[in-house]
Amino acid sequence: MSASSSDAEAPAHACCPTCKAVFRGAYKRCPQDGALLLETDDDPLVGSVLAERYQIEEVLGDGGLGRVYKARHVRMSRRFAIKVPFGEVGYDRKARARLANEAEAASRLDHPNVIGVVDVGESAAGLFYMAMDLADGPPLAELIDAGPIAIADVLTIFVQLADGLTHAHERGLVHRDLKPDNIVISTRGDGTIQARVIDFGLALVSEDDQPKTRLTTEGMVVGTPCYMAPEQATGEAIDFRTDLFALGIILYELLAGRLPFDGTPNEVARQNLAAPLPPIAERAGHAVDPLYEAVVTWLTRKRKDERPSTTREILTLARHMAAQDRGAAMTALPPWARPTRARGPEPTRPADDTPGELAPRPPRPVPDGPGAIVEVDARSAGGQVHVPTEQVARRQRRLGLIVALLVLALLALVLVVLRPWAGGDGATVASVPIDAATPPAIDAAAPEVDAAVALAVPPIDAGATIAAPPPRPMVDAGVGSAARPKPPVDAGATPPRPPPIDAAPAGPVDDGAGLSLKALYARAATELDQAMSRVGTDATATLRARFDAVPPYADAVRKPDLRAQAESQLRSLLRDLAKLK
């Protein structure tokens, strides 16, 4: 296990001088021994021996629930990463039981791309700890910050992460805080890279592997906002698909060199909840293969039931991509996620990046010879179809003939309709021969008109006459009244305007009254996402800003005043969203 050097510069915390636990927040005394906590920049564990076996050498970094140390075993020349939960977590009875249960489950992991727990215990003073293998190498976050990563390396990392997650998920473990800081990149002896997921010691055991009394803390939200799935941000039940969302954001960041959204952690979490991800090329500044875009889109769907149904599906897809088997990779995607074009413009990447790209589809053969003109085939990505000149000329002549026949038919129809009105009321219309217009000259070499066209446009006899139409219908005014002609329609009168088709039905607008707070957040996010897809991001910019201003769910669920404010803002937003439908 490893951590970035910047993480080691941890801010001052309150420490217990007796048990050496580190606390965050407004704690005055240690709940374990009642000692008065001291604020210091120095960690009391550094330099000490934990549980009579681990010599603590330095702080590697802080995680969401605990601090990580580099340690050496006192009886072996082997180093470990020791994770010690913060005091407010490690001394909470319910949380401690959960951590012990999950750490035991993490000890079952045995995979080259996952670092599992090798030892669990507690010190003489009651300090809980977990020991993990120490991985040499920088975290993936440092490599991303250093500059563009070759496509070949991106695919290698993607395959290895998918492989390690598949191993963990099939054993009932969900990481729930997957991010580049929790991925260590090592270099093997042969020069190849190895990605290893760390911090599975604080993973979540899936429902099937939990004891009958579930030990997770109610309302507890664990994760990093930039990589947090929508269901995780709202405190809903999570599973392996939550890790897949984070994997999609990591792949996006590897390809673009930056995250999809900018802003504070809360702003980014809200955008992950409702806003569509911007195209990777827009954030990267260069073209990106549509296949990669499609994979990211599938992994980061807002609804978890629209993401892959198993992690092994993603592993299979990643292996096809790494093997440059584009056809198999496209088949592994769901039909709706497959890109409409086979390949976009060539990505602008460093020179050493070329071998790692997927091979493009072979170009279609181009016929040689003079007189060939080009028509674009929309079914291919930049492909060209060459059609001989003679075939195009025949098509043009046939089209001219069809247009001429349609004009004649339209002229005859107009004369039939208008002639009764030209003869006066009740007058007999004289039979007038139709002077058929002479059709344009047709090349004798042109093909015959299709049978379907001949049936649609009947031949017109130039010497035929049009029979007089029957008298106009009379309006029966009732018993004892003489029949009278139907009154003419006033051409200048303005007809009544019909009601708009899209007029909203009358009645109260459903603003989510009666829904739970969690359901209100989810519904507002879903309807805002639908509105952005329907009318565009510009038309919904104000509504998105209002949604971002709603207090976070984790705060609203604990504070009554924020809860009332959030409910009022969400219901008002739902009423305005209903007006866009």
- The residues carrying an active-site annotation are 177
**Residue 23 near residue 30, CB atoms below 8 Å:** yes
3-state secondary structure of 348: coil
26: which DSSP letter? S
Q: Tally the C-alpha atoms within 13 A of residue 92's C-alpha that lie toward its C-beta.
A: 14
Judging by beta carbons within 10 Å of its beta carbon (0-12, 13-18, 19+), is residue 561 exposed, middle or buried?
exposed
**Residue 469 near residue 419, CB atoms below 8 Å:** yes
364: which DSSP letter? P
Closest CA to 217 of 89, 66, 67: 89
The contacts of residue 52 (CB under 8 Å, 6+ apart) are: 74, 124
CA distances from 480 to 87, 89, 328, 372, 486 (A): 103, 98, 83, 79, 17
**Residue 72 near residue 78, CB atoms below 8 Å:** yes
445: which DSSP letter? T
C-alpha–C-alpha distance, residues 79 and 1, integer Å: 10
SS (H, E, C) 118-168: EEEEECCCCCEEEEEECCCCCEHHHHHHHCCCCHHHHHHHHHHHHHHHHHH
Question: Which contacts qualify for 368-372: CB closer than 8 Å, 24 or more apart?
Answer: none
How close are the terminal C-alpha atoms of the chain, in Å?
51
352: which DSSP letter? G
Q: Which residue is it, tokens 């029979």?
A: 467
